[in-house]
Structure 1
Amino acid sequence: MPGGRLTQQERQQIALGLADSLPYAEIARRLERPTSTVTREVMRNGGPTGYRADLAHRAAERRAHRRKPVSPRGPEPVPQLGGRDADAVRDFEEMLTTVLMQSGLPKMTARVMASLYATDAGSLTASELAQRLQVSPASISKAITLLESLDLVRRERDERRRERYIVDDDLWYQSMIRSARDNAKFVEAARQGVTILGPGTPAATRLENVARFLDFVSEGITRAAEQAREVLYTRAEPAAAATTAPTAGRD
Structure 2
Amino acid sequence: MKRIGKNTILVFFTAAILLFGITGCAKADTNSKEPFSVAHETTAESDEYLEINLDLPALSGFETAPEINKMIAKSMDAAKKEVEEAAESMKEAGGGAAKAGLGSSFQYSQSGDIVSLWIMWSNYTGGAHGLYWIEPYTFNISTNEIYQFQSLFQKGKDLSMITDKILSEITESQDYYFPEAKETVKNYKGGYPFYINGNKITVFFSLYEIAPYAAGIRYFEFDAEELKELLKPEIYNAIKDTEPVETGESDADN
Task: Normalising by structure 1, report the TM-score.
Answer: 0.29
Higher helix share: 1
Task: Normalising by structure 2, report the TM-score.
Answer: 0.28
Higher strand share: 2
Task: Say which structure, 1 or 2, has more relative contact order (CA 8 Å, 6+ apart).
Answer: 2
